[in-house]
Amino acid sequence: MKTVKSSERSTGIGATHFTAILSSGEWVRVSRHPQARHMGRNHKYEEYEIDVADEAVEAQFDRSNRGNEYVEASNGMSWRSFEEARRWAAGANAPNTCPHCGRPM
């Protein structure tokens, strides 16, 4: 078992920061997991912990106030958007919109 910690914060104007666990094809924010423990507040961040299997994949999700997103997972993968990370987690790695015109495929 390992303990995954999440420092979560949202600015209210777009920026957000949290850790999520891959579970059944989706990312579950640590704070929203039923087994998460709230550890208190530290410098404007809400702190959470959860115990998971050593093989569990977790990812750090970050969005700036400008809307720039970045996700970095414990398995070495990274994505430039939350949606890309969600598609990968769901096993739908192919884009569902055209990268050139934005139309549904």
Give the pLDDT confidence score for residue 104 in this predicted structure: 52
Q: Does residue 33 lie within any of the structural domains?
A: yes
Residue 49 falls inside a structural domain: yes
In a domain, 47, yes or no: yes
Nearest CA to 22 out of 104, 91, 81 is that of 91
Inside any domain, residue 58:
yes
CA 69 and chain centroid, separation: 10
* Residue 71 maps to a domain: yes
Q: 40-72 burial, b for 16+ CB within 10 Å, e for fewer?
A: eeeeeebbbebebeeebbbbbbebeeeeebebe
Residue 8 lies in a domain: yes
Look up the domain containing 12 and give its range. 2-90
pLDDT at 55: 86
Which residue in 60, 39, 61 sits closest to 50, CA to CA? 39
In a domain, 98, yes or no: no
20-73: per-residue pLDDT in tens?
A: 999 888 999 999 998 999 999 998 899 999 999 888 899 999 999 999 999 999
Query: What's this model's pTM, rounded to 2 decimal places?
Result: 0.82
100: which strand partners?
Answer: none
Confidence of residue 102 (pLDDT cuts 50, 70, 90): low
Is 6 within a domain? Answer: yes
Overall number of domains in the chain: 1
